Structure 1
Amino acid sequence: MPPPLTTTTTTFLLLITASLLLTITTSQDSDPDSDCTNKWIHIRQLPPQFNLDLLTNCSEYPLYDNFCPYTSNHGLGQKTHNNSHSWYRTDPFMLELIFHRRILEYPCLTSDPNLAKAIYLPYYSGIDSIKYLFGPEYNFSSQHGLDLFHYLSKTDTPSIWKRNFGHDHFLVMARPAWDFSQPISNDPPLFGTSFLELPQFFNVTALTLESRAYPWQEQAIPYPTSFHPPNLAYLESWINRVRRSRRNTLMLFVGGGGISANPNIRRSIRLECENSTSLSTHETGYGKLCEFVDCSNGICEHDPIKFMKPMLQASFCLQPPGDTPTRRSTFDGFLSGCIPVFFEEMSGKRQYNWHLPEAEYGEFSVFIPKEDVVFKGVRIVDVLMSIPRVEVRRMREKVLEMMPRVMYRKHGSSLGLRSKKDAFDIAIEETLQKIKSRVEEFAAQ
């Protein structure tokens, strides 16, 4: 028997249910010939075992942190302080909750799956994967998702699934795609589940925090940051603060690693940052050429105060790859107006083309191949100092322009703020286009 629901989970359940009923009723009464043409989305009504029940064990997963505090405010987490209106202690792995809550406000929901152009699966796949990644089901990670497939295809109105055999279905998977890409044949199994390797889900569109180099099912969408403004005034106030901030540091690295003796980009960044403290800054116009904020062991993960102030004071934020090519810090940097410096194309350009168009990367970021830094003696400081100040200012303005595209505004936000597309809006818009193409291709076969 599962443990009793916590207060947080009970509140989440009641609000999700009430909002769902209200939103679907409103959408059903909408004019089918309105702006919702070709935009209708149907939410599959999954049993709670696939979403809300998974939250009841939020403190009981072996070898994994207690994530109960981060489920509050529909996945935004607790406020950073009592008077905060826009800042939360957000855990990026709660994106499934954030997305679920936001989609209930989508204006083109329908209870008729035959009218829908896309079917949303409110399955908390990343949370469900924890038991396979860290728990007793580790040796059965190839089973991840099979219960869901059985429910969709055989138990609950299988005609919805069989109409397009999953081509019109999509879900959010709040972890990098590699965590769901273990080959089914691995014996013994390695880290990760096999959800994206299951033939049963090859047709489903998965929105992940990071995608593989040659994705078929998945598309990367931005990591959630801690900034979730409720109205346009708070967003504009923050942008003005970022624009006015004095940038006394040339470059900043927020992160950990780099202590190994083996050559790698993080080690090179640490060494260059340490050596730069002895360099003269008299002619550079910067108080510091490099600053390093040590966030080892996750000490900064839920405390934006630790890194946002240094980011506001830096012109460039270094974004080297780690265990995966991308970092949440990239999107934190956008919020602070700190120009990202990438060291491999998989860190951004080849992943987030929906939200950060590939053709525009040169307008808001700097690219320095990591091999040049690690093995060819290229100094990051020299590359960044060679960029004219007027160009730096122009790039920062572009970063500020892109900011709304990579943030997730707060649910229930004002109409004024809803006029600016955020990360959720863009993800939905592009998912509908992707599904449209896949369904048309499937129908033509």
Structure 2
Amino acid sequence: MACKNYSFFSSSSSLFFFVILSQSVLSQKISDNDMHQPDCSNRRIHIRRLPPRFNLDLLANCSEYPISGDFCPFLANHGLGRKTHNRSHSWYRTDPMMLELLFHRRMLEYPCLTSDPSSADAIYLPYYAGIDALRYLYGPAVNSSADHGLDLFDFLQTDGPGAWDRRGGHDHFLVMARQAWDFSQSPAADPPVWGTSFLEIPEFFNVTALTLESRAWPWQEQAVPYPTSFHPPNLALFDAWRNRVRRTRRSTLMLFVGGGGTVSSSSAGTPNIRRSIRAECDNLTASATAASGSGGGYGYGPYGTSYSELCRVVDCSNGVCEHDPIRFMRAMLESSFCLQPPGDTPTRRSTFDGILAGCIPVFFEDQSARSQYGWHLPEAEFDKFSVTIPKEEVVFKGLRIVEVLQGIPRARVKKMREKVVEMMGRVMYRRHGSSMGLGEKKDAFDIAIEGVLKRITDRLRQPSLLR
């Protein structure tokens, strides 16, 4: 293993990580007297003290993990990554894998922390599971992936075991910055298949896991929004962006930001939704070019809405957009609908990028969002801010997406966009240390914590757990 090197942290970051490592009473941020405040009733959280091998040491070798490449640049600004440009105050080159670090940093600001685990309503494990999984997914430990998490469990059993034993782990939660499938290999798999077995070993069946994408059946998994690049530090900057989103002219009907579906892609010969989207967009562009050359026009829907472009594609193949919102955010701002087809997995970070741009999401299967992010995108309101078109109708029955979207009345499109703008705050992760009122508004982190506390409370009310 490479020598530990913490030089990539700024001086302020180094101080922060020292606080993380110590996790003393100072890092709990409040005194026991504060716990008697009414607003902390049923909201007390204890941050479990873990050895650095479970978090900080995993970051020290950020350039040494196989396949994943050098993720050291994304550790800057406590997990937000480097700024997109020097004058930026809200935009960063954020990597979704840094959600564990970002979440940990925000936990240290949580107003209802307690240093006493016996008085806590929930216990947070600051374990960077997604980063630790890299050595099992790609490295020399790939054949022992069924062991992922056992070291952590042994520690929880031997260091202050009372915190774990009193509720059998039902009040513990952690963040896993990957899709749940990456932690769902059967421990008995021989030979091993993709993933580790963290979520399949009985030792952690009772722990609530916040993942970027959950499976449909396990009760302990809950999907939370992918981190985007937008992390405003105050209310003024958030409102300024929201106002820009509201006033931007939407000159494109529908937009696809992503890769796949091209002639050169490996799945080009296989019918799939991305290929269908690309083909439809290419045909629309060709028709528009021909109409323009003959003096004709296009883009007028049945309700009088006009667009200078019906379909646009921003090619993000090979990860070129992953850490560069400048490549696609302007296109999202200028589009009415953002197409969100599934790829290797059902969910996409682009869903949340689009919402931040006020671009109405168009989904092609429920697993992409409706059945995933119920805490942040309530299912009861889902059809008020999004459109769902079954992918089978497009791929196998020839349904044209453009006709569906053009058929939506203009008044409804306006209401949907306003609802999307209303949802913006729910899916972004504000910058740590936010001031000027933004901290009073609930962001993705705040909503996730509320959901965790409610789930744990409901779980512990079940009589079978009290025997």
TM-score range, shorter chain: over 0.9
2:300 paired with 1:268: no
CA contact (8 A) 1:13 1:52 kept: no
1:343 aligned partner, one-letter code: F
By how many angstroms is 1:13 displaced? 4.5
Q: Secondary structure at the match of 1:170?
A: strand
Tell me the equivalent position of 1:362.
383
CA contact (8 A) 1:349 1:356 kept: yes
Q: Secondary structure at the match of 1:230?
A: coil
Runs of 4+ in 1 over 6 A off after TM superposition: none
Tell me the equivalent position of 2:91.
87
Q: 1:322 & 1:31 partners in 2: Cα distance?
A: 46
2:138 aligned partner, one-letter code: F
Residues 321 and 353 (structure 1), Cα distance of their counterparts in 2 relative to 1, 3 Å cut? same
By how many angstroms is 1:185 displaced? 1.4
2:230 paired with 1:230: no
Q: 2:199 & 2:63 partners in 1: Cα distance?
A: 27
2:14 paired with 1:6: no
1:73 aligned partner, one-letter code: N
Q: Secondary structure at the match of 2:118?
A: coil
Q: 2:10 & 2:52 partners in 1: Cα distance?
A: 12
2:328 paired with 1:307: yes
TM-score normalised over the length of structure 2: 0.93
Q: 1:374 & 1:383 partners in 2: Cα distance?
A: 14
2:298 aligned partner, one-letter code: T
By how many angstroms is 1:95 displaced? 0.1
By how many angstroms is 1:443 displaced? 3.4
> Deviations for 1:103-140, whole angstroms, at most 9, x for unmatched residues?
00000000000100000000000000000111111111
2:135 pairs with one of 131, 142, 155 = 131
By how many angstroms is 1:230 displaced? 0.2
Tell me the equivalent position of 2:291.
none
Q: 1:253 & 1:76 partners in 2: Cα distance?
A: 25
2:440 paired with 1:432: no
CA contact (8 A) 2:10 2:76 kept: no
Q: 2:83 & 2:2 partners in 1: Cα distance?
A: 29
2:117 paired with 1:113: yes
Q: 2:407 & 2:238 partners in 1: Cα distance?
A: 32
Tell me the equivalent position of 1:166.
169
By how many angstroms is 1:415 displaced? 4.5
CA contact (8 A) 1:9 1:52 kept: no
Q: 1:56 & 1:331 partners in 2: Cα distance?
A: 30
Q: 1:98 & 1:140 partners in 2: Cα distance?
A: 28
1:243 aligned partner, one-letter code: R
1:332 aligned partner, one-letter code: D
Tell me the equivalent position of 1:347.
368
Q: Secondary structure at the match of 2:94?
A: coil
Q: 2:360 & 2:178 partners in 1: Cα distance?
A: 25
By how many angstroms is 1:10 displaced? 7.3
Comparing 280-289 and 301-310, the one that deviates more: 280-289
2:418 aligned partner, one-letter code: E
CA contact (8 A) 2:299 2:310 kept: no
2:285 paired with 1:281: no
Tell me the equivalent position of 2:213.
210
Tell me the equivalent position of 1:186.
189
Tell me the equivalent position of 2:465.
443
> Deviations for 1:306-351, whole angstroms, at most 9, x for unmatched residues?
0101000000000000111110000000100000000000101101
Q: Secondary structure at the match of 1:333?
A: helix
By how many angstroms is 1:6 displaced? 2.2
2:357 paired with 1:336: yes
2:258 paired with 1:255: yes
Q: 1:314 & 1:25 partners in 2: Cα distance?
A: 43
CA contact (8 A) 1:184 1:194 kept: yes
Tell me the equivalent position of 2:160.
157
TM-score normalised over the length of structure 1: 0.97
Residues 354 and 256 (structure 1), Cα distance of their counterparts in 2 relative to 1, 3 Å cut? same
Q: 1:42 & 1:303 partners in 2: Cα distance?
A: 36
Q: Secondary structure at the match of 1:397?
A: helix
CA contact (8 A) 1:87 1:229 kept: yes
CA contact (8 A) 2:256 2:314 kept: yes
Q: Secondary structure at the match of 2:30?
A: helix
> Deviations for 1:337-369, whole angstroms, at most 9, x for unmatched residues?
000000000101101000000010110000000
State the identity %: 66
Q: Secondary structure at the match of 2:114?
A: coil
By how many angstroms is 1:164 displaced? 0.6
By how many angstroms is 1:31 displaced? 4.2
Q: Secondary structure at the match of 1:171?
A: strand
CA contact (8 A) 2:340 2:363 kept: yes
Q: Which runs of 5+ in 1 are unaligned?
A: none
Q: 2:366 & 2:82 partners in 1: Cα distance?
A: 34
Q: Which runs of 5+ in 2 are unaligned?
A: 263-267, 289-296
Q: Secondary structure at the match of 1:149?
A: helix
Q: 2:4 & 2:27 partners in 1: Cα distance?
A: 28
Tell me the equivalent position of 2:294.
none
Q: 2:255 & 2:10 partners in 1: Cα distance?
A: 42
2:428 aligned partner, one-letter code: M
CA contact (8 A) 2:213 2:222 kept: yes
Q: 1:129 & 1:137 partners in 2: Cα distance?
A: 10
Q: Secondary structure at the match of 1:254?
A: strand
1:87 aligned partner, one-letter code: W
CA contact (8 A) 1:210 1:220 kept: yes
Q: 2:216 & 2:19 partners in 1: Cα distance?
A: 40
By how many angstroms is 1:261 displaced? 1.2
1:34 pairs with one of 35, 38, 47 = 38
Q: Secondary structure at the match of 1:114?
A: helix
By how many angstroms is 1:216 displaced? 1.9
1:168 aligned partner, one-letter code: D
CA contact (8 A) 1:276 1:290 kept: yes
2:48 pairs with one of 44, 58, 68 = 44
